[in-house]
Amino acid sequence: MDLNIKVNKPQESENKYEALPEGWYHVVVIDSKSKETRAGTGKYLEITLEVIGDTPHAGRWVWDRFNLVNPNPRAVEIAQENLEKLAYCAGLDHVGNSIELHHRPVQALIKQREWEGQLQNEVKGWRKADMDSASTKTAVSDSTNVPF
């Protein structure tokens, strides 16, 4: 096949690994996994969140972790409280399996923190998605493969 394409130098694009700016983002859980802690003394639920809606950050991923089995009972209590907040904001009154959290629009408060010399994101709060928001309506209508 003949091609007649003039090749230009690509424009500099945003580094997909830089931390997101702090703020509230519409997100959906796209993955969840149970993992063992590095010390081997507990387990945590790790969720992958995808930023959705009409934002230049749409498609970016952020992770959150919930220490559900830990020798420190306060760590477990905090994890359960935060997981309960996420489930409530996702419109659930009971969660039997983490997959039930998937593809439900919520808002996450994303903050930045420095860890081992790198700026990273962490989730510091949850709230219900604004159902009147165009970005949420887009996200819901784009999730046609939701199993429920």
Q: What is the pLDDT of residues 17-76, one digit of tens each?
A: 789 999 999 999 999 999 999 999 999 999 999 999 999 999 999 999 999 999 999 999
Domain limits, the chain? 23-132
CA distances to 4, 61, 101 from 1, in Å: 10, 38, 47
Chain mean pLDDT for the chain: 86
Q: Does the pLDDT value for residue 123 go beyond 60?
A: yes
**pLDDT at residue 126 tops 50:** yes
Average pLDDT rounded to a whole number, residues 79-97:
96
| Percent of the chain at pLDDT exceeding 90 | 72
Name the CATH topology of 23-132: OB fold (Dihydrolipoamide Acetyltransferase, E2P) (2.40.50)
By three-state DSSP, how is residue 74 classified?
helix
